[in-house]
């Protein structure tokens, strides 16, 4: 599990950078001006979501993915705030799906070039072969972590990305009611977490990961 945290930080950085980049593309440079268009994880780190919870999850074996510092968006700078917010939110999970797909493609390439690495009982006779097995593990975990990021963030509860995506898709007459519902998003997430229901996000993630990987 020592590979989890570096991969988590990279996946988090890709996710938050995508938000900041898309916001800048739509005319709001707030996040860019704050140095958030970067793969350096430090500007994206949240004390609880990036440090405490993921490390707690590693130590306890409990599946916790965590989160980064929210990317600031100034709606007054956006030409079409509701539509633009939708895409700014959606690009985060989409970026993780892209990373997962790249990791899966590299894993298939590794299988084609050196199939012995995927043997049920690989013989690690050399250091280079052990390195290849390590690369295989990194690619597999990269797929799982990024799919988990995408799935978790697309839950339709504020402040997750899925909430902003759903808000942008709703008819105008339903937006006010949804905003009232969103006030309880953190409470709903906390209840789901305490009840252990968030673990069910893992089921489709592992099904898709198994389908994507050799």
% pLDDT > 90, the chain: 68
Let me know the angle formed at the C-alpha of 148 by 147 and 154, rounded to the nearest 5 degrees. 90
Q: What is the mean pLDDT of residues 110-128?
A: 76
Can you list the alpha helix ranges (DSSP code H) found in the chain? 4-25, 30-33, 53-60, 81-113, 127-153, 161-169, 172-182, 185-194, 202-212
Residue 139's pLDDT band, with cuts at 50, 70 and 90, is: very high
Range of the domain at 13: 4-212
pTM: 0.91
Between residues 88 and 46, which one has the greater pLDDT? 88
Residues 6+ apart with CB under 8 A from 74: 28, 30
Q: What is the mean pLDDT of residues 165-186?
A: 94
CB atoms within 10 A of CB 126: 9
- The per-residue pLDDT of the chain, averaged, comes to 90
- Classify 35 in phi/psi space as left (phi over 0), alpha (psi -120 to 50) or beta: left
Residue 125's pLDDT band, with cuts at 50, 70 and 90, is: low
């Amino acid at each position: 599990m020592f590979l989890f945290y570096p991969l988590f930080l990279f996946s988090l950085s890709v996710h938050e950078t995508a938000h900041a980049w898309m916001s800048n593309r739509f005319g709001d440079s707030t996040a860019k001006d704050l140095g958030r268009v970067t793969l350096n994880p430090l500007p994206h780190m949240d004390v609880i979501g990036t440090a405490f919870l993921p490390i707690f999850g590693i130590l306890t074996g409990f599946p916790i993915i965590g989160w980064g510092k929210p990317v600031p968006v100034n709606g007054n700078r956006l030409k079409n705030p509701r539509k633009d917010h939708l895409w700014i939110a959606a690009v985060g999970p989409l970026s993780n799906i892209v990373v997962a797909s790249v990791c899966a493609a590299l894993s298939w390439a590794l299988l084609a070039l050196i199939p012995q690495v995927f043997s049920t009982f690989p013989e690690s006779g050399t250091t280079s072969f052990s390195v290849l097995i390590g690369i295989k593990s990194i690619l597999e975990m990269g797929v799982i972590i990024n799919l988990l990021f995408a799935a978790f963030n697309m839950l339709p509860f504020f402040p997750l990305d899925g909430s902003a995506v759903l808000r942008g898709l709703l008819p105008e007459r339903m937006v006010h009611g949804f905003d009232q519902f969103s006030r309880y998003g953190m409470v709903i997430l906390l209840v789901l977490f305490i009840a252990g229901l968030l673990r069910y996000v893992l089921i489709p993630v592992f099904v898709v990961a198994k389908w994507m990987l050799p």
